[in-house]
Amino acid sequence: MTGWFNRLKSTRPWRLRLPKRTLLVRVTLIYTIGALLLSATVAIASFELTRRQLLTDVQAQHRARSFTNAVDVRKRLGQPPPRPEDLEADEEVAAQYQSDLNEFYNIVLKGLSSYNASQSMIVLDNDSIKTLSPTLTLRSLPPDLHPLLRGETLVADARYSQDGKSSYVIGVRLDEVDATYYEVVALQGPETTLAQLRAVLIGVAIVAALCGAVLGITSARRALAPLRRIIRTAEQIADGDLESRLSLQSDQDLATLSLAFNNMVDRLDDRIRREQRFTSDVSHELRSPLTTLAASLEVLEKRKGSLSPAAQTAVELLSDEVQRFSDLVEDLLEISKLEAGVVQVERLPFRPDEFLEFVISQSRRPDIELIYSPNCSDLVLYADKRRLAQVMTNLIDNAEKYAGGVSHISLELIDSSVEIAVVDAGPGVETSQRDRIFERFGRVGSEAGNRADGTGTGLGLALVSEHVKVHGGQVWVTDRVDGKPGARFVVRIPLANDTEEGYGYEESEESALL
Amino acid sequence: MRPVGTRILTVEDDARIRQAVTMALEEEGWDVVEADTGERALEVFAAGPTDVVLIDIMLPGIDGFEVCRSIRRSSDVPIIMVTARADTHDVVAGLEAGADDYLTKPFAPKELSARIRAMLRRVRSSDPGNMERITVGELEVSPDEGLVLKSGQELNLTKTEFKLLVELATQPGKVFSREVLLERVWGYDYFGDGRLVDVHVRRLRTKVESDPANPRHVVTSRGLGYKLQP
Closest CA to A411 of A396, A397, A421, A423: A421
**pLDDT tens digits, one per residue of A169-203:** 888 888 888 888 888 888 776 777 888 888 988 89
- Interchain contact, A290 vs B84, CB within 8 Å: no
Residue in chain B nearest A357 by alpha carbon: B190
Write the CB contacts of A284 (distance below 8 Å, at least 6 apart in sequence).
B58, B84, B85
- State how far residue A344 is from chain B, nearest Cα, in angstroms: 9
Contacts of B125 (CB under 8 A, 6+ apart): B163
Residues 6+ apart with CB under 8 A from A502: A347, A348, A349, A382, B222, B223, B224
CA dihedral defined by B68, B72, B78, B79, rounded to 10 degrees? Answer: 10
User: Closest by alpha carbon to A386, among A445, A292, A467?
Assistant: A467
Alpha-carbon distance values, A380 to A383, A412, A483, A493, B81 (Å): 9, 13, 31, 12, 34
pLDDT band at A148 (very low <50, low <70, confident <90, very high): confident
Instruction: Tell me whether residues A509 and B92 touch, CB distance under 8 A.
Output: yes
Give, in degrees to the nearest 5, the angle at Cα A148 between A123 and A51: 105
Q: Which of A25, A109, A100 is nearest to A70 (CA)?
A: A109
Residues of B in contact with A497 (CB under 8 A): none
User: With contacts defined as CB-CB under 8 Å, which chain A residues touch B223?
Assistant: 349, 499-500, 502-503
**Interacting residues of B115 by C-beta distance below 8 A, sequence separation 6+:** B80, B101, B103
Long-range Cβ pairs for the range B130-134 (8 Å, 24+): B131/B166, B134/B166, B134/B169, B134/B170, B134/B172
Does this model's pTM top 0.95? My answer is no
For A157-183, letters b (16+ CB in 10 Å) and e give: bbebeeeeebbbbbbbbbeebebbbbb
Please calculate the CA angle A224-A226-A229 and round it to the nearest 5 degrees. Answer: 110
pLDDT digits (tens, 9 = 90+) for A32-51: 888 889 888 988 998 889 88
Identity of the amino acid at B81: M
The tally of CA atoms less than 13 A away on the side-chain side of residue B177 is 12
> To the nearest whole number, what is the mean pLDDT of chain B?
85
Cβ–Cβ pairs < 8 A, chains A and B:
103
Q: Which of A466, A459, A465, A467 is nearest to A477 (CA)?
A: A465
Mean pLDDT of A342-361: 83
Residue A312 contacts by C-beta under 8 Å, 6 or more apart in sequence? A304
This complex has an ipTM of: 0.82
Chain B interface residues (partner A, CB cutoff 8 A): 14, 16-17, 19-21, 23-24, 27, 58, 84-85, 87-88, 92-93, 96, 104-110, 178, 190-191, 194-195, 198-199, 201-202, 206, 212-213, 220, 222-225
Q: Is A514 in the B-facing interface, judged by CB distances under 8 Å?
A: yes
Contact between chains at A326 and B27 (C-beta distance less than 8 A): no
> How close B148 comes to chain A (CA, Å)?
23
- Smallest CA–CA distance from B13 into chain A, residue: A288
> What is the signed CA dihedral for A501, A507, A510, A512, rounded to 10 degrees?
-50
Residue pLDDT tens, chain B, 230 long: 444 578 999 999 999 999 999 999 999 889 999 999 999 999 999 998 999 999 998 888 899 999 999 999 988 899 999 988 766 678 888 999 999 999 888 888 888 898 888 888 765 554 445 567 888 888 888 887 778 888 888 888 888 898 899 889 888 889 998 888 888 888 887 677 788 898 999 999 998 888 888 888 899 887 678 999 88
pLDDT in tens, A79-129: 888 877 777 777 888 888 888 888 888 888 888 877 777 888 888 877 788
Q: Return the pLDDT at A189.
A: 67
Spatial neighbors of A17 by CB under 8 A, at least 6 apart, are: A231
- CA pair distance A372, A365, nearest whole angstrom: 18
Q: Give me the half-sphere count of Cα atoms (radius 13 Å) on the Cβ side of residue A305.
A: 1
Phi, psi of A446 (to 5 degrees): -105, 30
Closest Cβ–Cβ partner in A292, A326, A503 for B223: A503
Interface touch A502/B58, C-beta < 8 Å = no
Q: Round to whole Å and give the CA distance between A432 and A430.
A: 5
CB–CB contact A386 B84 (8 Å): no
3-state secondary structure of B78: coil
* Cα–Cα distance measured from residue A151 to residue B78, given in angstroms and rounded to the nearest whole number: 135
A135 pLDDT exceeds 90?
Answer: no
Distance in angstroms (rounded) separating the CA atoms of residues B69 and B74: 9
Q: What is the pLDDT of residue B50?
A: 92
Q: How distant is the Cα of B11 from the closest Cα of chain A, in angstroms?
A: 14
Which A residues 219-278 touch B at CB under 8 Å?
A: none
Residue A197: CA atoms inside 13 Å, Cβ hemisphere, count? 17
> Among B85, B107, B191, whose Cβ lies nearest the Cβ of A284?
B85
Go through A70-103 and write b for each residue having 16 or more CB atoms within 10 A of its CB, e for each that does not: beebbebbeeeeeeeeeeeeeeeeeeebeeeeee
Mean pLDDT calculated for residue range A472-485: 90
pLDDT digits (tens, 9 = 90+) for A432-476: 888 888 888 776 654 434 444 555 777 889 889 989 988 889 999
CA distance A223 to A33: 19
Q: Do B105 and A507 touch (CB under 8 A)?
A: no
In DSSP terms, B221 is beta-bridged to B225
Q: Identify from B10, B89, B105, B209 which residue to disrupt to test chain A contact, counting A C-beta atoms within 10 A and taking the largest count.
A: B105
CB contact under 8 A, B224 and A502: yes
> What is the per-residue burial (b if ≥16 Cβ within 10 Å, else e) of B41-57?
bbebbeeeebbbbbbbb
